[in-house]
């Protein structure tokens, strides 16, 4: 989690350094700035169609302490790694500017993905322990060592919505612009709400690893290696919440401009719900629910080219990154009982390059 956070911050600092470097090499006369000064934008409405070639993923880890008090800590747990949820995600957005320095926008996207995979690891972790099992097997210092591993195919849908309100706080002064090739720099602060969902179907399972270390009289026999018959399960994930950020533009000429947008949501709510249809110990309607508080970082950077009248082509990179701050999984059983497990780690991402066509009026 710390490594992911460092990557996020590194990306922000790199992009900001790039934009300030562009400003630094421009003539000294264009470095004058003032609040909401300079020539006004000529449009009051902007529509955009964006094709986001995005890679999606979700990964989470559950852990339960099983060692007695006073002994070295030993955990049993599961890691579920959903990968390759990739698709060309079309995004449609509209922006209006009702007042000077104020803008509102709304964005919606929907797509399907296929040919993804999920890897399910069942493991034991006790780096300072020696574990002896019922059949005499000994594990010394297991570090998240798998005793079972499963692979399955996944497909599903991705949907996202966002709405933001912008207020311009910084702009190149009009007196600093001598010709169309002088750099015009603007900065807007914004606040808004975003909603991001994946609905995942799970099928065609295959047991890759199955180790006989638990007493079958208590836990049942270990699963057989090979195809898993009858797997037809699902996992749905939804992130939503408020975030704040900034939007920046550097106009290089009357044709070209560079743009960046960053948003951070410190209190995102996450809901996950799934069904594992094999076995008799889970509820028939759903097997588990996740209740999580997390964070989101959204970022994008792109170049814009005005190629004909009010039409523009955009090309760049965009990513939405999520991680938890706290969370738990509640599991439901057919006899009406429930259990709760701590979610140690959960992160999700959708990231990739995009092409877009926009029109201003």
Q: How far apart are CA 192 and CA 300, in angstroms?
A: 16
Q: How far apart are CA 110 and CA 161, in angstroms?
A: 9
Beta-carbon contacts of 211 under 8 Å, excluding residues fewer than 6 positions away, are 146, 147, 148, 222
Q: How far apart are CA 153 and CA 222, in angstroms?
A: 22
Please identify every stretch of the chain with a pLDDT value under 70, giving residue numbers as ranges.
1-42, 173-182, 280-281
Query: Residue 309's pLDDT is what?
Result: 85
Query: Residue 181's pLDDT is what?
Result: 55
- Structural domain boundaries, residue 173: 2-360
Any idea what the CATH number is for the domain that residue 248 is in? 2.40.128.90
Q: How far apart are CA 328 and CA 291, in angstroms?
A: 6
Q: Give the residue from 164, 35, 16, 40 showing the smallest Cα distance to 104.
A: 164
Q: How far apart are CA 73 and CA 81, in angstroms?
A: 24
Q: How far apart are CA 306 and CA 251, in angstroms?
A: 11
Split into its structural domains, the chain has a count of 1
DSSP bridge pairs for 272:
237, 290
């Amino acid at each position: 989690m710390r490594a992911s956070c460092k990557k996020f911050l590194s990306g922000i600092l790199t992009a900001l350094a790039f934009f300030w470097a562009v400003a630094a090499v421009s003539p000294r006369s264009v470095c004058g700035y003032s609040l909401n000064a300079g020539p006004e934008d000529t449009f009051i409405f902007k529509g955009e169609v964006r094709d986001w070639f995005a890679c999606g993923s979700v990964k989470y880890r559950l852990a339960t302490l099983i060692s007695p008090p006073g002994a070295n800590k030993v955990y049993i747990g599961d890691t579920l790694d959903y990968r390759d949820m990739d698709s060309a995600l079309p995004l449609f957005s509209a922006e209006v500017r009702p007042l000077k320095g104020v803008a509102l926008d709304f964005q919606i996207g929907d797509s399907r993905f296929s040919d993804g995979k999920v890897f399910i690891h069942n493991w034991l972790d006790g780096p300072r322990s020696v574990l002896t099992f019922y059949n005499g097997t000994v594990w010394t210092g297991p570090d998240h060592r798998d005793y079972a591993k499963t692979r399955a195919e996944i497909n599903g849908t991705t949907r996202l919505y966002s709405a933001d309100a912008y207020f311009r706080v910084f702009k190149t002064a009009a007196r600093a612009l001598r010709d169309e090739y002088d750099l015009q720099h603007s900065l807007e602060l914004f606040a808004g709400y975003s909603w991001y969902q994946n609905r995942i179907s799970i099928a065609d399972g295959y047991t890759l690893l199955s180790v006989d270390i638990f007493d079958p009289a208590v836990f049942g026999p270990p699963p057989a290696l090979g195809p898993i018959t009858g797997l037809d399960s699902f996992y749905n994930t939804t992130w939503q919440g408020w975030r704040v950020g900034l939007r920046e533009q550097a106009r290089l000429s009357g044709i070209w401009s560079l743009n960046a947008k960053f948003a951070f949501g410190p209190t995102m709510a996450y809901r996950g719900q799934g069904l594992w249809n094999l076995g008799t110990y889970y509820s028939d309607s759903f097997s588990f629910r996740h209740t999580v508080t997390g964070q989101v970082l959204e970022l994008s950077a792109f170049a814009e080219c005005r190629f004909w009248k009010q039409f523009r082509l955009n090309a760049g990179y965009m990513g939405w990154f999520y991680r938890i701050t706290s969370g738990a999984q509640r599991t439901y059983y057919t006899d009406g009982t429930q259990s709760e497990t701590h979610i140690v780690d959960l992160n999700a991402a959708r990231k990739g390059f995009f092409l877009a066509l926009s029109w201003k009026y």
